[in-house]
Amino acid sequence: MSRNIRIISVVLVLVLIFFLSMIFRYYLNVNTTHIKDEPETNTAKILHEGLYSFKNEKGFYGVKDGQGRIKIDAVWRDIDSISAEKFIVSRYDEQKIRYGIIDINENIVVPFIYSSIVNKSNEYLVGKVDNGKENHGYIILSTDGDVLVDEEWDRCFKKYENRTIRSGENYVQLEKDGNIYKACITSSGDMKMYYLELDKKINDQEITVKINNLGTILTMDNTHSTYNEIVDNAIAYISALFESDAAKMKELSYDTDYRRLQLEKMNLYGAHLVYTSRIMPSVQRGNDGNVEYRCEVKIMYISPENIEWDGTYKNSEHAACFEVIMKKNQDGMLKISSVEAENIDIETISVPDEYRITETVSETPTP
């Protein structure tokens, strides 16, 4: 046998082996798919383009494609699609129904820790944590399964269920401990918290702080915590200032030089905080590119004047505006770095009549 004939024979044998292996693989795939698909014949509903849920004889759900091939095995109590790649599924865990999210390859994307997961118009997800409280424990997730805010909310609802979430027309309202947070989807497709309404207390006065978060510096997960921290620091500082609480000021101060926060030039010795007119926190980027945390506080206070030799004096009304400026320390906590303060005209802060001094009288300090 010549050398050329031997080469041709080897090539023909290799080609024959290749075709036989391809035929065998095709036969194996067809039979495997057929055997796997045969008992699952009840299509439940369309999930996504080209994908359908089906129910097997045991009452469990899975996913098929348009050719009837099983993409997700029928082992789930319920199944619904978020996209062509991700699905909300439920199963029994310790005799309780738990919801999670899996991908098309049946990998777990979101753990099975929720008593329900609801897909809101393919814009966001609401997971309910089983914490024993009927109207508490709502978690907000993106449609990718990422937790947008790692916190449980008392209430969560969409203003208009049949509208998309866009600024100015619709929003998601989150509530916790009496505070209100509104979120929408921006033009870039991200969800942001754009409005906050915080219930706070200062000097036994209930005050509502309303915040329009128009910037984009803060993300959805840290907007509410940052603004709460700013307001709480400002309230704590104003209280410590009028209570002459040096220890509290030292705790709130960004550095050890807390004495400059005592505002000795304001001459507040013996003054009493009476009314808080306005608390306005803000987060903005400064000229140096760093993030600035500020809180403007306008208050009315009374202070003793014209103190006589026998200790008698007269109370007088004053108003002041404080700009409390904060920085983050190494632990990521906001601390007060400086305070700008000035007295202002009391008529500019609209003090309710019940807080005003109706007449100026002489008093004698209690020994």
What digits encode the pLDDT tens for the residues 195-217?
999 999 999 999 999 999 987 78
Domain boundaries in the chain? 194-207+221-367
Which two structure tokens, joined as six digits, stand for 268? 């507040």
Residue 183 pLDDT > 80? yes
Q: Given the DSSP bridges, would you call strands 42-48 and 51-55 parallel, antiparallel or unpaired? A: antiparallel
Query: CB of 21 within 8 A of CB of 13?
Result: no
Query: CB of 83 within 8 A of CB of 116?
Result: no
Runs of H (alpha helix) within 145-281? 223-242, 246-252
Q: Does domain 194-207+221-367 have CATH number 3.10.450.50?
A: yes
Q: CB neighbours of 8 closer than 8 A, spacing ≥ 6?
A: none
Distance CA 308, CA 261 (A): 30
Q: Cα Rg for the chain, rounded, in angstroms?
A: 33
Mean pLDDT for the stretch of residues 111-136: 86
Distance (Å) of CA 281 to CA 59, 118, 176, 196, 330: 55, 34, 19, 11, 22
Distance CA 367, CA 363 (A): 12
Whole-number pLDDT of residue 367 = 45
Whole-number pLDDT of residue 6 = 64
Distance CA 199, CA 214 (A): 20
Taking all residues of the chain, what is their mean pLDDT, rounded to a whole number? 85
Least confident segment among 7-21, 53-67, 118-132, 142-156: 7-21
Side chain identity at 142, as an amino acid letter? Answer: S
What digits encode the pLDDT tens for the residues 1-49?
565 566 666 566 565 666 666 655 544 444 433 334 444 456 678 887 8
Whole-number pLDDT of residue 33 = 39
What digits encode the pLDDT tens for the residues 254-305?
998 888 898 888 888 889 999 999 999 999 988 888 899 999 999 999 988 7
**DSSP H/E element including 344:** strand 334-344
Query: CB of 71 within 8 A of CB of 104?
Result: yes
Distance CA 192, CA 197 (A): 15
Distance CA 301, CA 273 (A): 4
**DSSP H/E element including 205:** strand 205-212
Whole-number pLDDT of residue 20 = 60
Whole-number pLDDT of residue 7 = 62
Residue 70 pLDDT > 80? yes
At residue 62, what are phi and psi to the nearest 5 degrees? -145, -165
Q: Which of 96, 65, 99 is nearest to 79 (CA)?
A: 99
Q: Percent of the chain, pLDDT > 70?
A: 81
Beta-strand runs (E) in 35-123: 42-48, 51-55, 61-65, 70-76, 78-81, 86-93, 96-103, 108-120
Task: Please report the sign of the dihedral spanned by the C-alpha atoms of residue 134, residue 135, residue 139, residue 145.
Answer: positive
Distance (Å) of CA 247 to CA 29, 132, 251: 75, 40, 6
Distance CA 103, CA 112 (A): 14
Whole-number pLDDT of residue 256 = 83
Least confident segment among 83-87, 200-204, 324-328, 357-361: 357-361
Q: Which of 166, 207, 217 is nearest to 189 (CA)?
A: 166
Side chain identity at 252, as an amino acid letter? Answer: L
At residue 28, what are phi and psi to the nearest 5 degrees? -65, -45
Residue 246 pLDDT > 80? yes
Q: Which of 221, 261, 224 is nearest to 240 (CA)?
A: 261
DSSP assignment letter at 253: B
Whole-number pLDDT of residue 30 = 42
Query: CB of 322 within 8 A of CB of 299?
Result: yes
Distance CA 154, CA 175 (A): 6
What digits encode the pLDDT tens for the residues 3-14?
556 666 656 656
